[in-house]
Amino acid sequence: MDRTTIDLWVGIFVALGVAALLGLAMKVGNLTSSQIGPTYSVTAAFENVGSLKPRAPVKSAGVVVGRVDSIVFDSKKFEALVTINIDKRYTFPKDTFANIYTAGLLGEQYVGLEAGGEEDALKNGDKISQTQDAIVLEKMISQFLFSKASEPKSDGKEADSSNKPTEAKATGVKETELGDAPF
């Protein structure tokens, strides 16, 4: 076969490969979406991080503003020390709240930041003091069961608990929902 034809075909082949890699990187992978600019890091201590992982998103008002950098165990305070990198474009007040939320019922966990009202902004190396732990499903269910067990049996006629039946009903609905969920 002619040498120039072979060169042409090999060129097409390599170009196709590069195009496919670019397509994978841009359209399939998170190379474009995960790009956050220069960051500053702050730490937050949690008593329980649940299944939070490094590289999990940090969101505020639902917008990704950073990523979790590392999670280490503090053996002095017996807490989890989470370092998060926040995009330099966003500043948060010093009394910002850090919560661990779950996306959906069984989705991945992420750190949610809720801005406080203070004037000073968080700086590199600061520590967020107000945190809320991840919700552990087993704990929640056991709490619910205990509160249910300690409740007097209400048939709606008890005089002292005018709002209890509705509450019990509301939680009762929740229970059946959890029972039906496929896990």
Partner 1 sequence: MIKSKLLNSLTRTLSGIGYRMIERIWRLGAGARLFFLTIFYSGESFKRFHLTLREIYFTGVMSLLIIVVSAFFVGMVLALQGYNTLQKYGSSEAIGVLVALSLVRELGPVVTALLFAGRAGTAITAEIGLMKTTEQLSAMEMMAVNPIARVIAPRFWAGVISMPILATLFSMVGILGGYIVAVPLIGVDDGAFWSQMQANVDFRLDIVNGLIKSLVFGVACTMIALFEGFDAPPTAEGVSRATTRTVVISSLTVLALDFVLTSFMLVI
- Binding interface with partner 1 (CB under 8 A): 1, 3, 6-7, 9-10, 12-14, 16-17, 20-21, 23-25, 27-34, 55, 182
Least Cβ distance, residue 152 to partner 1 (angstroms): 37
Least Cβ distance, residue 121 to partner 1 (angstroms): 29
Which has the closest alpha carbon to 50: 136, 114, 115? 136
**Alpha carbon separation from 147 to 2, 160, 169 (Å, rounded):** 83, 17, 13
Comparison of 13 and 146: residue with beta carbon closer to partner 1: 13
Comparison of 16 and 121: residue with beta carbon closer to partner 1: 16
The answer for 55, left when phi > 0, alpha when psi is -120 to 50, beta otherwise, is left
**Alpha carbon separation from 114 to 27, 92, 100, 104, 137 (Å, rounded):** 31, 9, 11, 19, 23
Which has the closest alpha carbon to 102: 145, 144, 59? 59
Comparison of 23 and 125: residue with beta carbon closer to partner 1: 23
Contact 123, 40 (CB under 8 A): yes
Comparison of 65 and 128: residue with beta carbon closer to partner 1: 65
Least Cβ distance, residue 63 to partner 1 (angstroms): 14
Contacts 24+ apart (CB under 8 A), 115-118: 115/60, 117/93, 118/93, 118/94
Least Cβ distance, residue 76 to partner 1 (angstroms): 29
Least Cβ distance, residue 6 to partner 1 (angstroms): 5
Cα gap 37→8, rounded to integer Å:
40
Comparison of 33 and 162: residue with beta carbon closer to partner 1: 33
